[in-house]
A and B are shown apart, each in its own frame.
Chain A
Amino acid sequence: MSVEHRFGRYGGQYVPETLMPALQELEAAWVATSADPAYHEELDRLLRDYCGRPTPLYHAERLSEHVGRTVLLKREDLNHTGSHKMNNALGQALLARRMGKTRIIAETGAGSHGVATATACALLGLECVVFMGTEDMRRQRPNVLRMELLGARVQPVDAGARTLKEATSEAIRDWVTNVETTYYVIGSVVGPAPYPSMVRDLQRRIGDEARAEILERFGRLPSRVVACVGGGSNAMGAFAAFLDDPEVELIGVEAGGEGLASMRHGAPLTVGGPAGVLHGAMSAIMQSEDGQILEAHSISAGLDYPGTGPQHAHLRDTGRARYEAVTDVQALEAFRTLARLEGIIPALESSHAVAWVLEQPRGGDELDLICLSGRGDKDLAEALERLGIA
């Protein structure tokens, strides 16, 4: 198990000195734990019996007919708590318990990672505090209620745009202050090393399961693996299994918001621009000329983030993966289309990946694999209002 600190020139550990010993302790614990079969036995057992993994690989026939080629959905929406976030939260919560930490903190945007962490903490009997921007608390209200029911404390963050960036900053500040007792469960492949590689390793079962099942059922690899990218954990988990299959195209779909030209988006990889440091790692970020971090914008709280995982920036630069953006309007349309064609209501985040597939020219003999990262119950109020249904 490798713990990379850099992906090309991206990554690193840009954090206050107070945290450096904690990151080193975390890395040592992760190296030891991830080499311990007992850890994997426990994690695998819980992911199977508690979460319902492996998640299904579903041949979406009506969607396939609609786009004129075969589309498969990796159903992370059917994972316990309704998204891929549980794979990571459970893996890290088990690690925290082994490290003897009793207090867990997490940041959340859409609330998916917050709910997953609150769930893992309920299961393992750990104290849980989740930092969440007040704008996200408004638009993802069901998840706030779920976290509270699960026994977590939701700590409102009222700074800046009151979304994921501010929640993450506040979680890091809490960690700086309470580092001796507290474990920070970061929710994506972002942050200082070892988080990006650790979270990728915990999410790679998405890709591993899908790859094995596609080979078995279809006797071939997919042509394209398509996943939405906020911080990039479901995409990285899906991509990881296919990195050494050069014939498989990897496509990360970012939040185009109101359009790239409007500057109101969350698409740092697609837009390009100089690399920078946000939340402890060098990566693609949205910033002003002076280096001030810009506010992102997306209809989906989970993609509403001006940074991204460092490995994605590296995959972009090397050309191994391609990143494109889908607007709020296109994502909403895909949200409705998938509901009507397949009876599956996707998360607004995942709807971006679906939208990208819908936007491609009809037909072809490609086999598209979409990582359907989560279910859309949390988004109903927001989406129905925007669609003019409520």
Chain B
Amino acid sequence: MTGLEHIAAAFAGRDKRAALMPYLMGGFPDVETSAAIGDACIDAGADLLELGIPFSDPLADGPVIQAAGTAALRAGATTDAVLGVCERLAARAPVVLMTYVNIVLARGIERFAGQAAAVGAAGLIVPDVPLEESAELRAACDAAGLALVPLVAPTTPDERLRRIGAGARGFVYTVSVTGTTGERRALDPGPLLQRVKAATDVPVALGFGISTPQQAAEAAAAGADGVIVGSRLVRAAAEADRPAAEVGRLVGELAAGLA
């Protein structure tokens, strides 16, 4: 199966109202524990995992994921180590890697895409590569059988949504808020989700800000095909004595919310 097919199967085969897509930071709090957290997410009902490769200067991330990335790097996380985590988890569920463009460029675009595909990654999300800068990366991902998943935001106008939607692979990552990653108390994703769904044929996942089972359920009710939960889980990994167990427990609650 190619990455695209893996992702399509995850959306099609879900037993929930929306696919549950937890985000975890590779190498946080350490490499081994991050793999255990990924396993716990899958055991608790995750349909697809987003695995972050830490970057020193993550411009799209709020304080929780920023701090996790910094801690992971300080603990010695490398791109290779996180690709190793990906290999382990990808045997059990589709994994989409999420990182910043300089991490990709440092290896070379084609080499990075090839290595990601070789460790079983299904897709790639690079928040600082907008449509205008995406051609070369998309070509390399296509050649490697990796889905380059684009992001759209509340500020994206309809005409631009259509152009991004037309080039989307796997799914469209809809950023629910004008801002960086981080938990939000109130979300109103309905109008944005409708605009995005009208602009693309691929599934639409909602992320940034979602932290509770109730918010996940609301996103599904508003039309999201997938729900991404990041900062809440990363915070749990930072605070809990037994990170994998605690993240697994939260993912179980989120899954129940989407049942």
Contacts and interface: CB of A to CB of B under 8 A. Distances in A.
B133 A13 contact: yes
Nearest to B164: A17
Nearest to B127: A16
A49 interface: no
Nearest to B128: A14
Given A13-B133, A17-B153, A169 B59 contact: yes
A177 B178 contact: yes
Interface in A254-277: 274-277
Interface string A270-298: 00001111111010010111111100000
Given A14-B133, A21-B160, A287 B59 contact: no
B78 interface: yes
A381 interface: no
B128 A165 contact: no
B152 A17 contact: yes
Contacts of B150: 17
Contact of A14 (B66, B79, B129, B154): B129
A16 B106 contact: no
Contact of A278 (B102, B106, B153, B156): B102
Interface in B101-157: 101-107, 127-133, 150-157
A292 B56 contact: yes
A12 interface: yes
A159 interface: yes
B179 A177 contact: yes
Interface residues of B, number: 40
A287 B155 CA distance: 32
Contacts of A278: 57, 102
A180 B155 CA distance: 9
Interface string B88-111: 000000000000111111110000
Contacts of A280: 59, 128
Contacts of B100: 277
Contact of A165 (B57, B66, B106, B154): B57
Given A176-B180, A277-B101, A290 B57 contact: no
A177 B60 CA distance: 10
B206 interface: no
B105 A15 contact: no
B128 A15 contact: yes
Nearest to A21: B155
A47 interface: no
B48 interface: no
Interface of A: 12-22, 159-160, 165, 169, 172-173, 176-180, 274-280, 282, 285, 287-293
